[in-house]
Structure formats: structure tokens, C-alpha cells
Amino acid sequence: MALDIKVTKKSHYVYLVELKGSIDADGHEQLESELKEIIDEKTKAVILDMAEVSYISSIGIRVVIWAKKTLKATNANFAMINLQPPIKKVFDMMKILPMFDIFDDTAEADKYIDEIIKGEAEKQSI
């Protein structure tokens, strides 16, 4: 199954990336390309919505880890939401799940990101 990607700029350089399909040998390049377009020094957060991801391969996981590390280098945040049990199990089996912020839904992730952005704005006003 091909990978469909929908990127929505939420606010303050926070992006929601909704994925549908497989993040595999075919879809990983497309995902990496889309992420490279939105990740820069102004990006505050990227949220991957994994609700409709049916499969993720090791190369797909590599792209997710790359995004996390790239964002961390610029003090930006990375989160995943709506992980389906089989996808969560893959991350868990690879023992990399603890390195990610994972939320049940968009509202929960939005609240977390909003608190971070508010905290950063308060630091800058001091």
C-alpha cells in the first residue's frame, strides 16, 4: 500500500503530519522528503499521526528516528499520536519506544506542545 501524507501547519511552526498506508521501502523516501520540507531552524514541533499506518519497516523507523534527532538538535519537539497496537509493538520490540513522546490523540499532543511553546515564550520575555 502506498503512503499518503497530509501536512498541516497548526501554528507557531507546529506541524501535524497525518500518515496513511505503509512506511516501507517505497514510502520512507516520500516521508523523509516531506519532513525535510518542514523541518528547519524555525520549526517548534512535528507531530506524526500514525492512526492509519498499517505497516512500518526498519527503514521507516530509521526515518522516524532521523526526524526525532534532527528536531532535537534544534530544540524542537517530536511526538507521535494514535499508534496502532501492531506499530507500537514494532517500536517496543526494538526497544526504542521510550525515546519518543507518544500521545493517544491530537488533543493530548496539542496540549503538550502548547505548554512547551508557552514556556519558551515566557523564557524569551525574561
Judge whether 45 and 14 are in contact, CB under 8 Å.
Answer: yes
Over residues 70-100, the pLDDT tens digits come to 999 998 999 999 999 999 888 888 877 666 7
Judge whether 2 and 26 are in contact, CB under 8 Å.
Answer: yes
Q: Where are the alpha helices (DSSP H) in the chain?
A: 27-38, 58-73, 85-93, 106-125
The HSE-up count of residue 96 (CA atoms within 13 Å, CB side) is 13
Which domains can be identified in the chain, with CATH numbers? 11-106 (3.30.750.24)
Please, what is the average pLDDT of the chain? Answer: 87
pLDDT at residue number 106: 81
pTM: 0.85
